[in-house]
Chain A
Amino acid sequence: MIEKIKLAHGNGGEENNQLISEVFYKAFQNEILQKSEDSAVIEDGKFAFSTDSFTVSPLFFAGGDIGKLAVCGTCNDLAMMGAKPKYLTCSVIIEEGFSGDDLRTIVDSMAQELKINGAIVVSGDTKVVPKGSVDKIFINTTGIGEIQKKGISSNSIDEDDVIIVSRDIGCHGATIFAQREGIELTSNLQSDCLSLYPIIQKLLDKKIAITALRDATRGGISAVLNEWAKQSNISIEVEEEAIPISDEVMGLCEILGFEAMALANEGTFLLAVKKDDANRALNLLKELNENASIIGKVSKKSLKKVILNSPWGTQRYLDMPSGELLPRIC
């Protein structure tokens, strides 16, 4: 039983899942929640409903800011269920002394991103707390979307599906780490923070045979692949060489001893698509980012596990990421 909450409990990986199931799922038991999808599917498949809180530091980073993230994050969770984002709420908790200009910039970013998603904020809440009670600003957004294609679920992936990644991985996590105080690195790294509904709409319009979608946020693609393997009770076999990673993300991972597959993304998603439609899906995705790739297939080899095939014929398991993201030492 969890005695004290540690930072690792918020990592999007193993400990996070432990916290969620031991405490929250236990108390809030219901069928919809147990499905553990990116958004809850409610009202008999009509709507998707999701919430997310944003505590990113630094607030402003290459490729975005906490405002952009706050809208992308929730809208993407809706998009991952094949839902068109429609209504959002926006709650902010602001630390006393926070800059008015910074707040306006953040809120303007949110407005811009809402337009891209075609969604509006219809309700909100603002709290201001004494200095030190919160780290500058925390934002929560909750969203409702209209499901355009029913049945997209992480619980029904099977051997007819292939796994595709929409672009090169790890950019958001790498960018944030590079900018954080104490790890002073400069680079051309940019967060991949992006609203995904537009590309999802394209895929849905072309009637691509999508089984599942999930954006690879905290825990990276490692987390998504493991979640899919567990939820659908399958084995996912990934070709290591096929995973697109930029030189700069590679460079940061080398310096800090990170695995790119466990780094967070905010605009990169995985798709499980029927084999026959894989190339069509890939071509559409490549219009958005040339690095879209087919990275794996589904089998029954080792149920609930993800297998990584190396370019020289060896294999190993790819595990759920765990612990805080710490640089290696000696």
Chain B
Amino acid sequence: MCLSIPSKVTKIDKEMNSATVDTMGVSREASLDLMEEGSVKIGDYVLIHIGFIMNKIDEVDALSSLEAFEDVLAIMDKEGLDG
């Protein structure tokens, strides 16, 4: 029930245990304190909540969800329904 947003990791600061994350061109620091050491890498998609990285977004899963939506659209088109 909390505002958390997907962002991309662009830098890791091992000393401060934090990462720089980018959300559509806006960057900020986020703490890695809630993530297992070494589990977050540059290029990962993560969820940010109040200044912390909360988890890693499963890219493969996200892509397959998006592809599934394309299938849903295709079904709708086939049945001649307005999509």
Contacts and interface: CB of A to CB of B under 8 A. Distances in A.
Interface in A182-209: 184-189
A254 interface: yes
A61 to B, nearest CB: 15
Nearest to B5: A254
Interface stretch (B24-32, B34-42, B59-67, B70-78): B24-32
Interface in B1-50: 1-3, 5, 22-29, 48-50
A5 interface: no
Interface residues of B, number: 15
Interface in A230-262: 247-248, 250-252, 254-255, 257
A251 B22 CA distance: 9
A184 B18 CA distance: 14
Contact of A329 (B2, B23, B27): B2
A216 interface: no
Contacts of B5: 254-255
A252 B5 CA distance: 11
A247 B22 CA distance: 12
A277 B22 CA distance: 42
B26 A252 contact: yes
Given A184-B29, A329-B50, A247 B24 contact: yes
Given A255-B48, A329-B50, A330-B49, A186 B3 contact: no
A169 to B, nearest CB: 15
Given A255-B48, A330-B49, A187 B3 contact: no
Most chain A beta-carbon neighbours within 10 Å: one of B25, B26, B28, B50: B26
A188 B22 CA distance: 12
A20 B11 CA distance: 48
A139 interface: no
Nearest to B28: A185
B3 A329 contact: yes
A26 interface: no
B50 A255 contact: no
Contacts of B25: 187-189, 247-248, 251
Nearest to A185: B28
Contacts of B3: 257, 328-330
A248 B27 CA distance: 10
B28 A186 contact: yes
A250 B22 CA distance: 12
A106 to B, nearest CB: 27
Contacts of B2: 329-330
A178 interface: yes
A189 B1 CA distance: 29
A206 to B, nearest CB: 35
Contacts of B24: 247-248, 250-251, 254
A178 B24 CA distance: 13
B10 to A, nearest CB: 11
Contacts of A250: 24
A254 B48 CA distance: 11
Given A185-B27, A251-B22, A329-B2, 7 more contacts: A184-B29, A247-B24, A250-B24, A255-B23, A257-B3, A329-B50, A330-B2
15 contacts: A178-B26, A186-B27, A187-B25, A187-B26, A187-B27, A251-B23, A254-B24, A255-B26, A255-B28, A328-B3, A329-B2, A329-B50, A330-B2, A330-B3, A330-B49
